A and B are shown apart, each in its own frame.
Chain A
């Protein structure tokens, strides 16, 4: 059976933010398939095809991972570290999409090799704009290396 191609992996525990993000993507006409995981542990299972996602094909990598930092179980920075330190997944673009404006979060994320760091605005227009730009840029515009 042919697995559905996941192009955007959204790692976000807050259901409101999930809905708003999906809404914003829809509004921006980014219709690429999105998969939502609700904590860091599930994100790692999905990415490394373990646990509930053991049957997933490891080669079927998402085009971009939208990652919140404050997550249950395994936090966002840890997910980032695991993704970027594994050669199989290191090339997947990771965009941190978080409420945190803390300098140390920003610095550490970049040290771990994040591709982009975006602070979620409270203002919905600005939020929508940010999500739209991320979607357009990373999913449509960006050219990832082949396999």
Chain B
């Protein structure tokens, strides 16, 4: 912007002065009457320099568009050559004129356009500097920019001196010698040109410092302009005061120096203060950063796992000490290596694919869930690992933090557990086989009991009977009664054996669970016990009952035993009353068999269901004491409960439940 404005001003001034020479307008040639004129060559050089500066301007886009970018340079090829040509001419014009002044030649270039005279040596030197500066700026070389800026500064300072001369009205400065005829607008335009060249490439060379957003840039921008302006203004004020006779030379000088010191000192102190604050802030931020870095590092090192941080390209950015310990690599050996170098060869290709896939949709997760993962140490050995991944968005793109854990120990433990399990299973199998063998043995035992124990009893009973039948006449009455007792006992023992066998069989038979109509079952059981009802008054009421779930044969046995008991213990009643039914307790059906028999003392209720336990004397009520034990065993095998309620002489009630209760009530 500055550069463009400068080039526009320079071209305009040069053009106007040429017009002035052509049309002989004094104002355009020297600004004020009596002042030195700007020569035609000077005006021409300004136009050339202005064109060069205009062409050097940078395009708004940092890179040339594809259509216009074939030149390889930042400017278009043609533009660049024209700019160089113009700059070259400016430098040449300055050099030749300077040569004329120094050596005393007359090359005839001064009257080239108009007979306006030769430009001042200071102007010529300025053009030499500025022309060279423009040449260097266009070359875009490193270092060249700094030289260009120095040359431009030189040109600008020469012009500034002339301007100051005009300001202070120093005749000697512009009127004689080196500065003899520098025109006012020549000096001003040269200064503008110098500034324009400085701003042609504001981000490079010496200007880089000035335009930067660093503390140095701030200082340069704040101090440079006052450093130029303050002494100039103070010098002018001093001169004016001195000329008006306010003070002498010595006091004027002192005043100026002190004022300059004060103003510049204040300016510098003020700038330094703001720089100080900025710097303190920066330091604090740095310290914070260092501390944060240390904390992060500490966290990283304190992590129980090997932490490996990988960038989007799969290269290792950061690791921790655990990584060194686990993999045997030094941290610096791993930096910038592909993550795959920590894997066994056979997984590398596949892993790179997986990694690319992960990067397309990164989220925290365990890696290769359900897969056996292996890593590879520096020495080539492998070990099983568990890997957890978590992505992190940073200024440099996505990075992935992977926590790697050596699970050799865990694997070993798992293996051990598996082995123990297998052993346990084997032991269970063996134990089961042993149990089965024991069961078989028991079966064989009861088989032989059922066979061999009954035969002698049959013989005892049979032969006693034959004795009684065949030899009744020879036997006294009590001998016959004794033989009767022998037979009674043999039969009792036969019954005991039968009951015991069926009791032991109950534990072995598998249950055949099905829906059972309990009322129908009760009727069957009652029919089976017909013999025990003969010649008696028995009133049996079988109520409506829900069906149960159970083994029908076994449940029938339950009802037979309970009804048989009921019939037995009501024997002495004139009219036996027996009720079979069901009631619901807590949503669970409870079946019962109730009688009005002799009942029993509830104190002995807990003995009722034990094998061979009897609450009555055998001569009162016969029995083996197995019936209720069988009932209990069957009910328990169904997962149910059985209990009794009774009162002496007021009857007894037996209750039982079945697991699962009734279906469709």
> Which B residues have a C-beta under 8 Å from some C-beta of A?
447, 450-452, 454-459, 461-466, 487, 490-491, 493-495, 498, 501
Contacts and interface: CB of A to CB of B under 8 A. Distances in A.
A20 B461 CA distance: 10
Contacts of A120: 454, 458
Greatest chain A CB density within 10 A among B451, B462, B498 is at B462
Contact of A99 (B451, B461, B464): B451
A124 B451 contact: no
B172 to A, nearest CB: 147
Contacts of A14: 455, 459
Interface of A: 14, 16-17, 20, 23, 69-70, 98-102, 120-125, 127
A99 B459 CA distance: 12
A124 B447 contact: no
Nearest to B448: A70
B465 A124 contact: yes
Contacts of A17: 455, 458-459
30 contacts: A14-B455, A16-B455, A16-B458, A16-B459, A16-B462, A17-B455, A17-B458, A17-B459, A20-B458, A20-B463, A23-B462, A23-B466, A69-B451, A99-B452, A99-B455, A99-B458, A100-B450, A101-B498, A101-B501, A120-B458, A121-B458, A121-B494, A122-B457, A122-B458, A122-B493, A122-B494, A123-B461, A123-B494, A124-B461, A124-B466
A102 B491 contact: no
Contacts of A100: 447, 450-451
A26 to B, nearest CB: 11
A8 B322 CA distance: 97
Contacts of B487: 124
The 3 closest A-B CB pairs, nearest first, are A122-B494, A16-B459, A124-B462
B450 A102 contact: yes
B490 A99 contact: no
A102 B447 contact: yes
B42 to A, nearest CB: 137
Given A17-B455, A23-B462, A98-B451, 8 more contacts: A16-B455, A17-B458, A101-B450, A122-B457, A122-B458, A122-B461, A122-B491, A124-B461
A69 B450 CA distance: 12
Contacts of A124: 458, 461-462, 464-466, 487
A16 B463 contact: yes
A127 B462 contact: yes
A122 B447 CA distance: 16
A32 to B, nearest CB: 21
Nearest to A69: B451
Contacts of A121: 458, 494
Contacts of A122: 454, 457-458, 461, 490-491, 493-495
B465 A125 contact: yes
A71 B488 CA distance: 29
A102 B443 CA distance: 10
A16 B457 CA distance: 10
Contacts of B455: 14, 16-17, 99
A101 B462 CA distance: 20
Contacts of A101: 450, 498, 501
B451 A70 contact: yes
Nearest to A70: B451
Given A122-B491, A123-B491, A123-B494, A99 B462 contact: no
Contacts of B494: 121-123
A121 B459 CA distance: 11
Contacts of B466: 23, 124
A76 to B, nearest CB: 11
A100 B464 CA distance: 23
Contacts of A99: 450-452, 454-455, 458
B570 to A, nearest CB: 25
Contacts of B456: 16
A99 B495 CA distance: 13
A98 B452 CA distance: 10
A127 B491 CA distance: 12
A11 B495 CA distance: 26
Nearest to B501: A101
Contacts of A102: 447, 450
